[in-house]
């Protein structure tokens, strides 16, 4: 994996990898994930025969640096820098909070040729938003105390709703260290979903061809959120991926994305 860097407007160095040839496609990770952990490296390989694929470490993760204080707008600027690097416009695909980040980029007017998102965890009611605000505060307090393991466990159990026993098992797995290493960025994911600056009206103003998808076996709340986003986007379509969950298979994603972006 070849690592290159681009310096963004606030001085943050964003690490990225580019493979393949064709129209540029940028992949945007969700929580915990980076170029070395999660689906994007394999997905990039599967799509590289048709596209010039760029995947990157979001700020604070992997080989990218981190400039404080954090702002969602800075992550949108990071995406814009990568789009300019790609030639001035690009296809975008984002998973989970990365999908919401892509929506924010589209609403901000970035030059996006087509947009695909998988299970954006958009909040559909005020109670959910209030709960997320509390989670964001609690996560920031844990990060400030340098309690990375507790931060990761809190996010998995309180934000994602995973049973506590699963986190006990996960702590015994080799990938737990990688998850802990990016735990300081988990408040960023909650902020992207919860900062209140992306309204239903703004989503409805996005005039970009879009594909919104969800897993057939994912939790109902995630499927409903994806369906709602698709309904709001004026030029979009929805696809349910058979037998898939939030932890979606790259082999299920790749043909769907290739068909959509190649039209």
Cβ–Cβ under 8 Å, residues 190 and 139: yes
The pLDDT, as a whole number, for residue 124 is: 63
The pLDDT of residue 122 = 82
Global confidence as pTM: 0.95
Question: By the 8 A CB rule, do 39 and 248 touch?
Answer: yes
pLDDT value of position 151: 96
Q: Which two tokens stand for residue 129?
A: 């938003």
Q: Is the pLDDT of residue 250 over 80?
A: yes
> What's the helix, strand, coil split of the chain in %, to 5?
45, 20, 35
**Section 107-127 average pLDDT:** 88
Domain locations in the chain? 4-124+197-262, 126-190
What is the average per-residue pLDDT within 144-158?
95
Two tokens, residue 155: 């996010």
Report pLDDT digits (tens) over 20-43.
999 999 999 999 999 999 999 999
Query: pLDDT, tens digit, for every residue of 160-199?
Result: 888 888 888 888 888 899 999 999 999 999 999 987 668 8
DSSP designation for 23: E
Percentage of the residues of the chain whose pLDDT score is greater than 70: 96
Tens digits of residue pLDDT in 12-26: 999 999 999 999 999
Looking at residue 176, what is its pLDDT?
92
Give residue 55's pLDDT: 99
* CATH of span 4-124+197-262: 3.40.50.1820
Average pLDDT on 49-61 reads 98
Phi, psi of 150 (to 5 degrees): -65, -35
Cα angle 253-255-257, degrees, rounded to a multiple of 5: 65
């Amino acid at each position: 994996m070849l690592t290159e860097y681009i310096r963004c407007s606030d001085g943050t160095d964003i690490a990225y990898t580019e493979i393949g040839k064709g129209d540029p496609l940028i992949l945007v990770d969700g929580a915990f994930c980076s170029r070395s952990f999660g689906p994007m490296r394999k997905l990039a390989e599967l799509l590289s025969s048709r596209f010039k694929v760029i995947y990157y470490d979001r700020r604070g993760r992997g080989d990218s640096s981190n400039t404080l204080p954090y702002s969602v707008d800075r992550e949108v600027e990071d995406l814009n820098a990568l789009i300019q690097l790609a030639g001035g416009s690009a296809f975008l695909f984002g998973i989970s909070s990365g999908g919401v980040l892509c929506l924010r980029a589209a609403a901000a007017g970035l030059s996006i040729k087509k947009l695909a998102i998988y299970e954006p965890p958009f909040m559909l009611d005020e109670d959910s938003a209030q709960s997320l605000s509390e989670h964001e505060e609690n996560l920031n307090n844990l990060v400030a105390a340098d309690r990375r393991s507790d931060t990761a466990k809190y996010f998995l159990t309180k934000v994602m709703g995973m049973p506590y026993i699963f986190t006990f098992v996960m702590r015994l797995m080799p990938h737990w260290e990688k998850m802990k290493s990016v735990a300081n960025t988990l408040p960023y994911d909650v902020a992207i979903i919860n900062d209140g600056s992306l309204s239903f009206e703004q989503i409805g103003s996005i005039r970009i061809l879009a594909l919104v998808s969800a897993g057939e076996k994912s939790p109902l709340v995630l499927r409903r959120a994806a369906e709602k986003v698709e309904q709001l986007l004026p030029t979009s379509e929805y696809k349910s991926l058979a037998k898939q969950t939030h932890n979606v298979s790259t082999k299920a994603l790749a043909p769907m994305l290739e068909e959509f972006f190649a039209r």
